[in-house]
Copies of this chain bind each other. A is one copy, B any other.
Amino acid sequence: MSLLVVGSIALDSVETPFGTKVDAIGGSAMFCSYAASLLHGVQVVGVVGDDYPPEALERLAKRGVDLQGVERKQGESFRWKGKYSYDLQNRETLETRLGVFAEFEPRIPDAFSDAKYVFLGNIDPALQLRVLDQVDHPTLVACDTMNYWIHGQRETLLEVMQRIDVLLVNDAEARELSGDWNVYRAARWILSHGPRLVVIKQGVYGAVLVNRERVFYIPAFPLEDVFDPTGAGDAFAGGFMGHLARTDDTDEENLRRAMVFGAAMGSFAVERFSTDRFDEIGPAEVTGRVREFAELVRFEIQPEVASSG
């Protein structure tokens, strides 16, 4: 089933303890699409400036990503510059230049309006609403956001929440949004404000899927070498949505599997700068990592032991 991804397309300049990269492929729509395209076709809507390297988009096109919704406008592309701490756990934004992204007005091509799976990357909630106005009857809509919108556009964001199925946030955002420091109570608060599912991303610790009845936890993949955390959350969304779109199944069992594909894609994203890792891997590596996740959490209860005193 068709998967529509709407979000930022950026050029990221990143300093990590392991090196520096200037004007690399970045933005929520790019990380999500690179990851999702390992699983399924993707339709992208976004905007780039006339300085955006054509080969960055051509690489995506070769992966079966439909780029007719990517507008090229006169002006500079969205640029973000950041620096990570020695342990990659904190980052500082050194510069943000919105460029043509400041005037971004998502226009969903007619060919995309019947998309069944929709990912709203972290953009102004007012724009997220306008995307929803342009799609017909999606099966599942997932939405990301950030503290900037939680503070500045709270009412609009609450309106978005009434119209989506899944909210994907990190733990700090869940706390900020709900006003509750306990992530499980925060999740319950979010579920009472619209979405039927919430995914709380916890960085190096993993991610949790909460619905009204149950909690599913997938740890982060145990990596000894993390290179660049940028885009991990969007790659997670790409794995999650890519799996749902290709299977067209939103039952709980399949949502759990989607979490594992999300975690796998998040773990690939951080192994290299930018989206570089996704150019090196194919379906075999994805399958291999999913199997490693199964081994990572596998245990069996012996009934006779579990019931003895």
What residues of chain A have their CB less than 8 Å away from a CB belonging to chain B? 39, 86-87, 181-182, 184-185, 188, 202, 205-206, 208, 214-219, 222-226, 243, 246-247, 253, 256-257, 259-260, 282-283, 287, 290-291, 294-302, 305-309
Contact = CB atoms under 8 A, between A and B. Distances in A.
Contact of A217 (B222, B259, B287): B222
A265 B133 CA distance: 49
A224 B39 CA distance: 35
When all copies of this chain in the complex are counted, the total is 2
Contacts of A182: 87, 223-226
21 contacts: A86-B181, A87-B181, A87-B182, A182-B223, A182-B224, A182-B225, A184-B224, A188-B224, A215-B222, A215-B296, A216-B298, A243-B305, A246-B305, A246-B308, A256-B299, A257-B300, A257-B305, A260-B301, A282-B309, A287-B307, A294-B301
A60 to B, nearest CB: 17
Contacts of A217: 206, 219, 222, 296-297
Contact of A291 (B184, B219, B290, B306): B306
A-B pairs, top 10 by smallest CB distance, nearest first, are A205-B205, A87-B181, A217-B219, A256-B299, A283-B309, A297-B297, A215-B222, A184-B224, A287-B306, A184-B222
Contacts of A224: 182, 184-185, 188
Contacts of A300: 253, 257
Nearest to A86: B181
A292 to B, nearest CB: 9
A191 to B, nearest CB: 12
A86 B299 CA distance: 35
Given A87-B182, A206-B217, A257-B305, 18 more contacts: A39-B309, A86-B181, A182-B223, A182-B225, A184-B222, A184-B224, A185-B224, A188-B224, A202-B205, A206-B219, A216-B296, A217-B222, A217-B296, A246-B305, A260-B301, A283-B307, A283-B308, A287-B307
A205 B39 CA distance: 29
A208 B204 CA distance: 13
A218 B305 contact: no
Given A257-B302, A259-B299, A206 B208 contact: no
